[in-house]
Structure 1
């Protein structure tokens, strides 16, 4: 296989990788799944962070408290939890795209 073939394969792999990432966004998420995730935020996250996200066992998750925090970093906390604290990991139950979507909703404020 020549260099042109390797280049073509690399370009193809990059295009496929980018297009797969684009599919896994909140905008492309089914409305039912978004509703499920919003329910998870209110019920499950709210059980520790307060149903109005003003805090409880967990810290407040209001837009003012999350200002300046990157959604990707918040998503990592959602996915991996915080060791030696009550914050559980949700990896395996949520995708990275779903966790980022949830973090973005928290940053906007949930009702």
Structure 2
């Protein structure tokens, strides 16, 4: 039940950002596959830092979106701006901050 609430909230947030539900599913897949390749498939860290909701607690979603778009110079975090819009990066940031239940 709680997972359904999270999914519904993310869908509403995506709609508010003008992101279609199909694109939201693609972004979620990208987070697992592409972000997970460095941050770990459970997002608990690997080459990159942990990006779980707990590890990101208190972080501003706008700052996270900027990191997603522009990367972090001098680290393995690449800029995703060539592949993502600012709204999509914002959606990912908000997605990462949401607690998920399994």
After TM superposition, the score normalised by the length of structure 1 is 0.74
Aligned residues: 87
Partner of 2:4 in structure 1?
A: none
Say whether residues 1:88 and 2:78 are aligned partners.
Answer: yes
Q: Are the equivalent residues in 1 in contact too, given 2:14–2:21 (CA < 8 A)?
A: no
Q: CA RMSD in A?
A: 1.4
Higher RCO (C-alpha 8 Å, min separation 6): 2
* Structure 1 residue 92, shift from structure 2 partner: 1.9
Give the superposition deviation at 1:100. 0.5
Unaligned runs of 5+ in 1: 1-24
Q: Give 1 or 2 for the bigger CA radius of gyration.
A: 1
Q: Quote the residue 1:70 is aligned against.
A: 60
Instruction: Give how far 1:109 is off.
Output: 3.9
Q: Name the structure with the higher helix share.
A: 1
Gaps of 5+ in 2: 1-12
Q: Which residue pairs with 2:14 in the alignment?
A: 26
Aligned mates of 2:75, 2:84 — CA distance in 1 = 20
Give the 3-state SS of the residue equivalent to 1:83 in structure 2.
Answer: coil
| 4+ long deviations beyond 2 Å | none
